[in-house]
Amino acid sequence: MRQAASVKVDLGRIRQEASGLANRFGIDGLSMNALAEALNIRPPSLYAHVSGIGEVKRLLAIQGLEELDRTATRVTIGKSGRDAVRALLVAYRAFAGKNPGVYAATIPTPPRDDKEWQTAVDRINETCRAVLQSYGFSGQDIIHALRGLRSLAHGFASLETAGALKNPVSRDESFTWLVDAFLAALDTMALRSKPG
């Protein structure tokens, strides 16, 4: 029996519906069944387009990383130093807040042989590294600062989307405080790195 007339299914629509489901019901609420239903086809039919639930999540991860990188690049254009770092962190948090499911999909590490996914990860790291570059860290300190930036951004976003920050104190203010603290720390560590 044929399906009631509907738009043909392709990777674009799969990405779109998968994003919606993940953002609404959490990354664990995204299943082949739910996705098939959203696309108005039977679950086995999905396998004509993707190899399984793993690939759906991989698509989400790559999509999320790319959008994150585009956003990061956009908001830091024409800025440097403190302004750029601040804009980057604000955009990162906003992305995670607006797309919790897609954001969650971006966290796992790609398998070694997955070039496309790995490239998407590398791109964001490069964008962040470029933003940090202007602080003038030497060698390894850039990596340290980069890891710090990611820890901070991911830590806050992750706790916030998990609903862990329940205290009535404004989360926005806490985030601003944290960004300021990180900027202050960057100044200090930059000085320590190349004193004088």
* Site for DNA, rule CB under 7 A: 1-3, 8-10, 31-34, 36, 40-45, 47-49, 51-54
What's the gap between Cα 141 and its chain centre?
Answer: 23
Place of tokens 């100044």: 187
Binder of its own copies out of 12, 77, 164, 195 (CB under 8 A): 164
Q: Are 134 and 80 in contact, with CB atoms under 8 Å apart?
A: yes
Q: Select the binding partner of residue 34 from DNA, its own copies, none (C-beta < 5 to 8 A, by kind).
A: DNA
Assess 94 for contact with its own copies (CB under 8 A).
no
CB under 5 to 8 A by kind: which of DNA, its own copies, none does 167 bind? its own copies
Q: Is 47 exposed, middle or buried (0-12, 13-18, 19+ CB in 10 A)?
A: exposed
Q: Residue 97: which of DNA, its own copies, none does it interact with, CB under 5 to 8 A by kind? A: none
Residue 163 touches which member of DNA, its own copies, none, C-beta under 5-8 Å by kind = its own copies
| Counts for the chain of helices (H) and strands (E), in that order | 8, 0
Q: Which two tokens stand for residue 86?
A: 């601040």
Between 39 and 120, CB nearer to its own copies: 120
- Could you tell me the smallest distance in angstroms from the CB atom of residue 36 to its own copies? 22
How far apart are alpha carbons 49 and 39 in whole angstroms? 12
Evaluate the CA torsion angle 164, 144, 114, 73 in order and state its sign: positive
Residues at the interface with its own copies (CB under 8 A): 107-109, 140-141, 143-145, 147-148, 150-156, 158-159, 162-167, 169, 171, 173-174, 177-178, 180-182, 184-186, 188-189, 192
